[in-house]
């Protein structure tokens, strides 16, 4: 194996690690739990983590088991349509429960922002037929929400989004345009929706 091949393998391993750590379900769970603790509403944080990350990933794994989805990042465009509809239904049901049970406004807004972002991505996926990066959409969207809900210092976390985007492009799962549009959609839609709900 040549030195260039070895270096390339290391870079690929780094890209895979960043893709896993920056996966939407991971970011949704971690940020939901963090917000729940920050707002002194841990139980609601757990609930939001379940509907935004836990249940969607459980459905993905179930579909992989049924051989309807090839991998847990759902890299094939054609496999995303039904998945997005199911996740939208899960999140919408969770949002209704939160509203009816008087959950903290910030967590309701967080869920609404996630729903709106995924809806926008779903429209682009199905109507425009373009595979926008959910990784960068979620990363950018969550960062903007944390800036609004917790502290402007979270702007520093925006550096994570291009890093995650690089990993998706490096692995051949997205084009540069798809990760940029994902980040734009996530930050604008999530940030705007969160502001409307708070």
pLDDT at 81: 83
Q: What is the pLDDT of residues 86-96, one digit of tens each?
A: 999 999 999 99
58 phi and psi, to 5 degrees? -60, -40
pLDDT of residue 71: 81
**What would the mean pLDDT of 16-43 be, rounded to a whole number?**
98
Does residue 2 carry a pLDDT above 70? no
- pLDDT of 188 above 90: yes
| pLDDT the model gives residue 5 | 64
Output the pLDDT for position 1: 52
Q: From 182, 171, 177, 164, select the one nearest 80 (Cα to Cα).
A: 182
Overall average pLDDT of the 162-172 stretch: 97
Longest dimension (CA), the chain: 61
What is residue 133's three-state secondary structure?
A: coil
The pLDDT-based confidence of 170 (bands split at 50, 70, 90) is very high
Q: What is the token pair recorded at 40?
A: 């002194």
Q: CA 179 to CA 15: how far, in whole Å? A: 14
Q: Residue 173 CB: number of other CB atoms within 10 A?
A: 20
CA angle 53, 189, 195 (to 5 degrees): 95
Domain residue limits at 112: 3-197
Average pLDDT over the chain reads 94
Number of domains into which the chain is organized: 1
Structure tokens at 90: 């899960």
Burial grade of 23 (CB within 10 A; 0-12, 13-18, 19 or more): buried
Q: What pLDDT is recorded for position 87?
A: 96
pLDDT of residue 52: 98
Task: Identify which of 24, 28, 22 has the alpha carbon closest to the alpha carbon of residue 146.
Answer: 28
Angle at 196 between CA 194 and CA 198, to 5 degrees: 70
- Which of 139, 120, 127 shows the shortest CA–CA distance to 179? 139
CA-to-CA distance for 41 and 46, rounded, in angstroms?
A: 9
What percent of the chain lies above the pLDDT cut of 90? 84
């Amino acid at each position: 194996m040549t030195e260039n091949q070895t270096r390339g393998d290391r870079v690929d391993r780094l890209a895979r690690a960043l893709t896993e750590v920056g996966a939407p379900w991971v970011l949704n769970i971690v940020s939901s739990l963090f917000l729940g603790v920050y707002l002194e509403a841990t139980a609601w944080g757990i609930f939001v983590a379940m509907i935004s990350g836990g249940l969607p990933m459980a459905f993905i794994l179930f579909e992989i088991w049924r051989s309807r989805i090839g991998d847990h990042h759902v890299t094939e465009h054609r496999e995303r349509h039904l998945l997005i509809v199911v996740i939208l239904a899960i999140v919408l049901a969770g949002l209704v429960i939160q509203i009816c049970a008087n959950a903290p406004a910030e967590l309701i807004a967080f869920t609404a922002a996630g729903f709106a972002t995924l809806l926008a991505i779903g429209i682009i996926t199905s109507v425009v037929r373009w595979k926008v990066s959910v990784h960068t959409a979620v990363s950018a969207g969550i960062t903007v929400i944390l800036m609004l809900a917790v502290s402007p210092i979270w702007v520093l976390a925006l550096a994570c989004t291009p890093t995650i985007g690089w990993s998706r492009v490096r692995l051949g799962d997205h084009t540069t345009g798809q990760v940029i549009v994902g980040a734009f959609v996530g930050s604008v839609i999530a940030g705007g929706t969160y502001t409307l709900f708070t």
